[in-house]
Amino acid sequence: MSIISKAACVGGGVIGGAWAARFALAGIDVNIFDPHPEAERIIGEVMANAQKAYGMLTMAPLPPRGKLNFCKTIQQAVEGVDWIQESVPERLELKRGVITEIDAFARPDALIGSSTSGLLPSDLQADMKNPERMFVAHPYNPVYLLPLVELVGGKKTSSETIKRAEEGVAEIGMKGVVIAKEIEAFVGDRLLEALWREALWLIQDDICDTETLDNVMRYSFGMRWAQMGLFETYRIAGGEAGMRHFLAQFGPCLKWPWTKFTDVVDLDDALVEKIGAQSDAQAVGRSIRELERIRDENLVGIMHALKAGNGGEGWGAGKLLADFEKRLWAKGGDQAKSYDASGPLRLLDTKVNAAWVDYNGHMTEHRYLQLFGDTSDALLRLIGVDFDYVEAGHSYYTVETHIRHLGEAKLGQALCTTLQLLASDEKRVHFFTRIHDAASGDVIATAEQMMLHVDAKAGKSVPAPAEVLAKLKPIAEGHAKLAVPEGAGRYVGQKR
C-alpha cells in the first residue's frame, strides 16, 4: 500500500510549486492552496521546467501525471489527503498558524511536512491537536530534481511518523535522511551557512570576486561533494591510512587562522552592491530562466553520470535514480503487456533532449544506440525478460548492430520507435528497429540487431526457456506476415 495516494501543497511558490511537480510527476493528484493572485501561473512555470527535466532524466515509464487542483481554502486543500506539505514564507508565527489550521482539517493520520529551512519542528507543532504526525521535510531547490529531504521530528513527533515519511518520499523518488536531533537549520543549511559566511568575507576583503569563488568550487571540491560528500572524500585524502591519518595530518590546521568562521560580515549597501554587480557580470546577460535551464540540464547530467558509477551499479543520487526507475519499470511493465503484432511494435516515445545534441546541432550518434537499446529492452520486458528475470541469472545480450542514419533529429523533436521481428529461434532474436519523427512518422534511423539468450554467470549463449519463447511466438507469427523492411540485410558499402 502506498503512503501517498493524494497530496496537498499549502504555499505554492518556488518550493511549494516544485513539491507539487514532484508529486504530480509521480502520478499523485495534488490539491494546492496559495492565495497569491498568480499562483497558477507560477506553478505552471515550475511544472513546465519539471516536465522538461524529467523528459531528460529518465526513459522509464512515468505514470500518468497527477492532476493539480487549485483550492480556495486550506480546509478544501487538505481534507482527505494523505500528505500535506507546508511551504509558506519563513516566519514562525505564520507557519505555526497555517500548520495549526492544516491540523484542524486534515485526516488525523495524514502526514504533515513543513518545508522550513531552519525553524524547529517543536515550535511549529506547539498548537496542534495531533502533533505526532508533524515533522520538517526540508527539500533542496529544485525540489523536482534534487532528491534530498531532511526529515526532522519535533518533541511530539512519533517515530512511526518519521518512518512513514521516509517511505513516502521514497515513493516520489526522493531520499529521506533522518536527522537525529532537532536543531535550527538542521544539517544542510548549517553547512551552507558556514560556507556562505566565509564566502562573503572573501568578497568583502577583495580576496576574489564572485566568479572566481564559484570557479574554485565548481572545478574542484563541488564535483567531489556531489558524489562522495565530505567525510568519504577526506577518507580518500588520508591515503592508505584513511580517515585517522587525515585527521592527524589536517586536524591541527583548524587552529590556524584560516577562517573567519564565527564572525558575521556586515552586509551593508556597499557590499550588497559589490556582490550584485559581480554577480551581474558573471551571468553575462543570461536570464534567471536560462540559468535554471542550464542548472537543470547539468543536474540531470550529473545524475546520469552517477547512475553509471560504481561499475554500472549506480552511486549516491544516481543509484537512487536507478532504483526509482526500476520501480517505474516494474509498474509501467503492465502497460506494455498488450500489443498488436499485426504491425511493427511501437515501443518507445521520447523527445530529443539538450544533452543528446552535439556540436552539429542534431542528435549525436551514441544517443541513437541508446534509443535502440531502450527499444530492445522494451521488447524484452514484453516477453518476460525483466529485472527479476535478469537477477535470476539469464538475459539477452546484443551481439550485432547495424545502424543507418537517414535523417536528422533536432532538439525537442518528438520521436518514437517501432520494432519488427525478422526471425527468432531458441537462442536468437533478430529484429529491425526504426526511429521515427513522432508527428510525421518519417523514418530517421534504423537498426538491424541480433540478440542471443545467455546464461549470464556462465557467459555463454543458452536456449531461452519455454515461457519466454511462448511470449515471443505471437509476435514472430504476426511479423512473419510483414514485408522484409527496406534496408534489412544491408551492409556498409553496398550499392542501393
Ligand X SMILES: CC(C)(COP(=O)([O-])OP(=O)(O)OC[C@H]1O[C@@H](n2cnc3c(N)ncnc32)[C@H](O)[C@@H]1OP(=O)(O)O)[C@@H](O)C(=O)NCCC(=O)NCCSC(=O)C[N+](C)(C)C
Give the residues across from 398 on adjacent strands: 451
Identify which range of 32-40, 156-164, 348-356, 452-460 contacts ligand X by CB under 6 A: 452-460
Would you give the distance in Å from CA 89 to the centre of its chain?
Answer: 26
Name which position in 23, 396, 431, 432 contacts ligand X (CB under 6 A): 396
- Asked if 378 and 347 count as a contact pair (C-beta separation under 8 A), the reply is yes
Q: Is 328 helix (H, G, I), strand (E, B) or coil?
A: helix
Range in contact with ligand X (rule: CB under 6 A) among 46-54, 181-189, 224-232, 390-398: 390-398
Is residue 57 within 8 A of residue 36, CB to CB? The reply is: no
Stretches 10-18, 131-139, 279-287, 449-457: which one binds ligand X (CB under 6 A)? 449-457
Task: Tell me the Cα Rg of the chain.
Answer: 26
Q: How far apart are CA 229 and CA 221, in angstroms?
A: 9
200-234 residues labelled b (16+ CB within 10 A) or e (exposed)? bebbbeeeebbeebeeeeeeeeeeeebbeeeeeeb
Applying the rule CB under 6 A, the residues between 457 and 476 that interact with ligand X are 459-461
Nearer to ligand X (CB atom), residue 158 or residue 398: 398
Stretch that binds ligand X, among 133-141, 179-187, 234-242, 393-401 (CB under 6 A): 393-401
Nearer to ligand X, 278 or 398 (CB): 398
| Burial group, residue 268, by CB count within 10 angstroms (0-12, 13-18, 19+) | exposed
Q: Pairing mode, if any, of strands 111-114 and 134-139?
A: parallel
**Binding flag, residue 454, ligand X (CB under 6 A):** yes
Q: Minimum Å distance from CB 372 to ligand X?
A: 8
Q: Interface with ligand X includes 336 (CB under 6 A)?
A: no
What type of residue is 295? R
Nearest to 69 by CA among 2, 3, 12: 12
Please tell me the distance from the alpha carbon of residue 252 to that of residue 85, in angstroms, as a whole number.
Answer: 44
User: Can you tell me which of 28, 136, 451, 472 binds ligand X, judged by CB under 6 A?
Assistant: 451
Are 145 and 52 in contact, with CB atoms under 8 Å apart? no
Q: Give Cβ neighbours of residue 262 (< 8 Å, ≥ 6 apart).
A: none
Site string for ligand X, 202-231 (x = CB under 6 A): ------------------------------
Residues 6+ apart with CB under 8 A from 260: 197, 198, 201
Q: Binding to ligand X (CB under 6 A): which residues in 356-385?
A: 373, 376-377
Nearer to ligand X, 188 or 384 (CB): 384
Q: Which residue of 308, 397, 441, 489 would you call a contact of ligand X, by CB under 6 A? A: 397
Cell digits of residue 254: 583548524
Q: Which is nearer to ligand X, 74 or 454 (CB)?
A: 454
Nearer to ligand X by Cβ, of 33 and 396: the residue is 396
Annotated binding site for NAD(+): 11-16
d(CA 119, CA 106): 22
Stretch that binds ligand X, among 139-147, 251-259, 431-439, 446-454 (CB under 6 A): 446-454
Q: How many residues does the chain have?
A: 496
Nearer to ligand X, 268 or 313 (CB): 313
Instruction: Judge residue 186's burial from the number of C-beta atoms within 10 Å of its C-beta, 0-12 exposed, 13-18 middle, 19 or more buried.
Output: buried
CA distances from 121 to 117, 124, 483 (A): 11, 5, 67
Residues 401-440 that bind ligand X (CB under 6 A): 427-428
Known binding site: residues? 11-16
Q: Which stretch binds ligand X (CB under 6 A): 256-264, 342-350, 392-400, 415-423?
A: 392-400
CB 351 to ligand X: min, Å: 21
Q: Which of 109, 89, 82 is nearest to 168 (CA)?
A: 82
Residue 400 within binding range of ligand X, rule CB under 6 A: yes
How many residues lie near ligand X (CB under 6 A)? 17
Q: Which is nearer to ligand X, 319 or 428 (CB)?
A: 428
Residue 390 interacts with ligand X (CB under 6 A)?
A: no
Instruction: Kindly state whether residue 178 participates in binding ligand X, applying the rule CB under 6 A.
Output: no
Tell me: does residue 452 bind ligand X (CB under 6 A).
yes
Residues making contact with ligand X (CB under 6 A):
373, 376-377, 396-400, 427-428, 450-452, 454, 459-461
